[in-house]
Structure 1
Amino acid sequence: MKKTKLIALMISCFMTASLVAGCGSSASTSTSTKPATDNKPVKITMLNTKGEIQTQLEDAAKAFTKANPKITLEIVPVPTGGSPFEKISAMYAAGNAPSLAMLDPGDIPKFKDKFLDLSSKKWVADASTGALDAAKVDGKSYGFPLAIEGYGIIYNKTVMTKAKIDTKTITTQDSLEAAFKKVKAAGVSPIVISPMDWSLAGHLLPIAYTNQGKNSVGTQKYLADLKAGTANLSTNKSFNGLVKTFDLMKEYNLDKKAPLDKKYENNQQDIATGKVGFWFMGNWTWNQIKAIDKTGDYGFIPVPTSNNASDYGNTQICAGPSKFIAIDKTNNDENQQAAAEKFLEWLIYSPAGQDILVNKCNAIPAFKNITLTLADPLGKSIKSYIDAGKIIPTIPNLPADHWSVLGADMQKYLAGKTDKEGLAKAIEAYWKSAQ
């Protein structure tokens, strides 16, 4: 979700020197690890593909090392918006894989031969229902779910109060436009659209896929039809509904005159300062909003794609585990693998680890044993949808280049450089050639 998007869904690679620093040295091809017994210092690295929590993970590394003096953990960042798939591919090509790799769910199966099978680990039994599914291959668990994330339309509650809007009533396209008009009448710009490809094609566009049915079966069938070239987006209700909502958002966009000029950081300012009432984004942005507005209240509304409030998606939020952490078994020796396992256990079983995950990273835990109360209003809003059973599962297996390729087409549509038919043809062409 990370994003996502997320959605950042903006690609660059680190210099070779930065890849080399701190990575595993000797390889092991075993499928399980044994505890380190030589009592020698161990250095491990973790690839972080969530730039917004880099500082928090660095603090976690320090706290972990303090509790485990023989283990040093370095957090290797990927710039916000960088492709996790391209980064980890480059590191493996260099024989320089990190001990722990934070990846998107769909990337885990692509590297399963290089990752440890984690199925027997203690935390597997404590994972929330379904939290491990996206990182399973042939029934085996290869990924540790870092957190549950969700996305939709964020609202600034102060602006909603000023405009006298009850956000619970926004369940159709007409009610969304009515809310936009009220915000505008209150002297505030209604909404801002982030132009990043990861947001447009990693989070917004997939709503057209997830709304195809009331479970992942309908979604996967439609993606298969797109890949087979038998789906016609121009006549598809879900796609047309999403585009109509996107058109509505475009009409009331703060940056309507120059929709591609703003950066992610500008949009955080827009919502946090009350310059706009709404922003399509995910709960991962809370730390940046909080840094600007320490006392404000925020929440989510779904993205309505029709004028029938009972239609699937109009009252649900997209949410699911957005990042998984895998442990390398090819470039890191058994001591490093054991140390990496120890860090994951520390993160969810120690009070210090839980505090960083929930209170510092503002993550919605993917584990039942963590009972800390969320203080983050965006996280609390997502969790309220989870508790109410109003969740649309995110798609774990989108192709790695989906947001970078189709993000450019979504940007063209946002800027008025193509029409709905052109966008539909671009999406269909992409899926026909998808690997």
Structure 2
Amino acid sequence: MKTKKLISVLLVSALTAAMASGCGSSSESGSTAADTKTAESASEESTQAGGSSQESDLAGTSITFLNSKGEIQEAMEELAAEFTDETGIDVEILACGTGESPYTKVTSAYNSGSAPTMSMLDTTDALALADEYALDLSNEDWVKECENTLTYSDGKVFCFPFCIEGRGLIVNKKAVEDTLGETFDPDSIQSYDDLKALLEQLKAAGMETPVVVSKEDWSLGNHQLGYIYDTYDGTTEGSAEVISQLEDGTLKTADYDRYNEFIQTLDLLLEYNINGEDPLGAMYDQDPIYLVDGDAAIWPNGTWAWPNLAEAGAETSDDYCFIPYVLGNDTSAAANTGMQASATKQVIIDKVQATEEQQAAAKEFLNWMVYNETAQKMLVEDVAIVPANSNNTVEPLDPLGKDMKSKMNEGKTYSSCFVAPSDHWQVLGASMQKYIAGESTKDELAADVDTYWQSQK
């Protein structure tokens, strides 16, 4: 897959404004023309009804939904069960295993003739599959509710933006305050020097290793290394520009200011890493426990990590919030004044193997999530996401979602969502793992980044 093909895609991500305002052919299935008309009518009636809680004309239809966010699997199953109770349409939530590539799982399913009716994918993967496999959703009612968070391909909408996700440094504010014996203002951290001073103070006050650095390749290769693209100028177009320069060799990673600032911050975090004695022996299930128990105070991660913290014993309170993954000491830079936040997970509907009834039922499920009041509440409070549709005004219960939404409303986020090939997080995640384990140098990691991108040209 060529990155330049993906870069040609128009990504619209005016997220701050959105949140401030409220924010093969299917003929192979053998369906008759009458069946098609019935399915289309049922979908239209459901849309107009806003996902009303009455049995659907498509009751008895069975569809599948591939979930690539493992931490919400149980909550999604409960959401699907509610939809089935209300409409009679059966939705099975398929899990993508830990460490399993959603892109690989979906493409393998197509090859075996068992493609999911709906697939939740990262933006990159959704765009890669859109033209060949995804149903055109441009005329769906929910498009107007998501107009500021949509992803376009050739001027069409193939993806339903499932949620807004943001990332930065998660802080246990209570742990910081208990350790330092004073009030902590998260807004006071706006530079590398600010973060360094905080970590030094925490260590001096008795918290020897106040940072948790997880070893997962998706975290290191996507959510952390991704800052070198997303902070180019804080826009998706800017991230595409720097990636283009890396591809054609006009920019070398080792000479790129953002890369050097990123390594500086990463080295600081690693210096205070609670997993420092064996970085690659870290266990993701244990990492949130360190934060919740107050053994550490900072965890580089995103809004998706709340279920992990809750399972570790975190209570829904204001103890947890974000500070920026600071890069350098320019206090006016987007990287240092806010968090990255964008529509990340996208849902596509299969147009190749699903019957027209299944496609209509899938559309009904998406509309139900957007317009049904029970679904709106469950998505925010149980699934614990920040929906990308502006008509859902339910306030998040979890502190990470609440803090990120508040920062978006206040203009303290930047909306870049870099677009990369589906193997980026695996290939460069492995390079990042070598680096945090002390098995490679800063220059060797930079060379790996150069090699990766130039191989995409």
TM above 0.5, yes or no, is yes
- Which of 212, 218, 222 aligns to 1:202? It is 222
Residues 1:181 and 2:197 aligned together: no
Residues 1:334 and 2:353 aligned together: no
- Which of 296, 302, 307 aligns to 1:282? It is 302
Q: Which residue of 1 aligns with 2:370?
A: 348
- Which of 83, 87, 95 aligns to 2:101? It is 83
Q: Which residue of 1 aligns with 2:258?
A: 238
Q: Which residue of 2 aligns with 1:26?
A: 29
Q: Following superposition of structure 1 onto structure 2, how do residues 3-18 of structure 1 map, counting pairs within 5 Å?
A: none
Residues 1:147 and 2:163 aligned together: yes
Going from structure 1 to structure 2, the CA distance change for 1:44 and 1:172 (only over 3 Å counts) comes to same
Going from structure 1 to structure 2, the CA distance change for 1:29 and 1:76 (only over 3 Å counts) comes to farther
Q: Following superposition of structure 1 onto structure 2, how do residues 260-271 of structure 1 map, counting pairs within 5 Å?
A: 260-271=280-291
Going from structure 1 to structure 2, the CA distance change for 1:253 and 1:340 (only over 3 Å counts) comes to same
Q: Which residue of 2 aligns with 1:64?
A: 83
Q: Which residue of 2 aligns with 1:111?
A: 129
Q: Which residue of 2 aligns with 1:293?
A: 314
Partner Cα distance (1:217, 1:58) in 2: 36
Partner Cα distance (1:40, 1:240) in 2: 56
Partner amino acid, structure 2, of 1:79: G
Per-residue Cα deviation, 1:119-164 (whole angstroms, up to 9, x for no partner):
10010011151x112xx21110001111100000000011122223
Q: Following superposition of structure 1 onto structure 2, how do residues 251-262 of structure 1 map, counting pairs within 5 Å?
A: 251-262=271-282
- Which of 172, 176, 187 aligns to 1:168? It is 187
Residues 1:307 and 2:329 aligned together: yes
Query: Higher mean Cα deviation, 159-168 or 100-109?
Result: 159-168
CA contact (8 A) 1:49 1:82 kept: no
Partner Cα distance (2:294, 2:147) in 1: 36
User: Percent identity over the alignment?
Assistant: 38
Cα deviation for residue 249 of structure 1 reads 0.5
Partner Cα distance (1:319, 1:210) in 2: 10
Going from structure 1 to structure 2, the CA distance change for 1:396 and 1:55 (only over 3 Å counts) comes to same
Going from structure 1 to structure 2, the CA distance change for 1:39 and 1:65 (only over 3 Å counts) comes to closer
Partner Cα distance (1:230, 1:153) in 2: 32
Q: Which residue of 2 aligns with 1:16?
A: none
Cα deviation for residue 27 of structure 1 reads 7.2
Q: Which residue of 1 aligns with 2:64?
A: 45
Partner amino acid, structure 2, of 1:183: L
Length, aligned pairs only: 407
SS of residue paired to 1:260:
helix
Q: Which residue of 2 aligns with 1:18?
A: none
Partner Cα distance (2:147, 2:187) in 1: 27
Cα deviation for residue 385 of structure 1 reads 2.0
Partner Cα distance (1:256, 1:47) in 2: 35
Query: Higher mean Cα deviation, 395-404 or 240-249?
Result: 395-404
Cα deviation for residue 87 of structure 1 reads 0.7
Partner amino acid, structure 1, of 2:394: L
Partner Cα distance (1:273, 1:341) in 2: 43
Query: Higher mean Cα deviation, 390-399 or 312-321?
Result: 390-399
Partner Cα distance (2:65, 2:82) in 1: 15
SS of residue paired to 1:192:
coil
Per-residue Cα deviation, 1:331-372 (whole angstroms, up to 9, x for no partner):
110111111111111112112111111000111111111111
Partner amino acid, structure 2, of 1:225: Q
Partner Cα distance (2:31, 2:265) in 1: 51
Partner Cα distance (1:280, 1:355) in 2: 28
Residues 1:383 and 2:405 aligned together: yes
Cα deviation for residue 29 of structure 1 reads 13
CA contact (8 A) 2:341 2:416 kept: yes
Q: Which residue of 2 aligns with 1:137?
A: 153
Cα deviation for residue 389 of structure 1 reads 1.9
Partner Cα distance (2:160, 2:302) in 1: 21
SS of residue paired to 2:375:
helix
Partner amino acid, structure 1, of 2:102: P
Query: Higher mean Cα deviation, 147-156 or 158-167?
Result: 158-167
Cα deviation for residue 38 of structure 1 reads 7.4
What TM-score comes out, normalization by structure 2 length?
Answer: 0.85
SS of residue paired to 2:343:
strand
Partner amino acid, structure 2, of 1:223: I
Going from structure 1 to structure 2, the CA distance change for 1:419 and 1:350 (only over 3 Å counts) comes to same
Cα deviation for residue 178 of structure 1 reads 1.0
Partner Cα distance (1:326, 1:44) in 2: 13
Q: Which residue of 2 aligns with 1:430?
A: 452
Higher helix share: 2
Point out 4+ residue stretches in structure 1 off by more than 6 angstroms.
Answer: 27-33
Going from structure 1 to structure 2, the CA distance change for 1:184 and 1:382 (only over 3 Å counts) comes to same
Cα deviation for residue 34 of structure 1 reads 1.4
Give me the CA root mean square deviation: 2.1
Going from structure 1 to structure 2, the CA distance change for 1:251 and 1:28 (only over 3 Å counts) comes to farther
Query: Higher mean Cα deviation, 114-123 or 35-44?
Result: 35-44
Partner Cα distance (2:378, 2:143) in 1: 20
Cα deviation for residue 393 of structure 1 reads 2.3
Partner Cα distance (2:260, 2:107) in 1: 36
Partner Cα distance (1:211, 1:284) in 2: 20
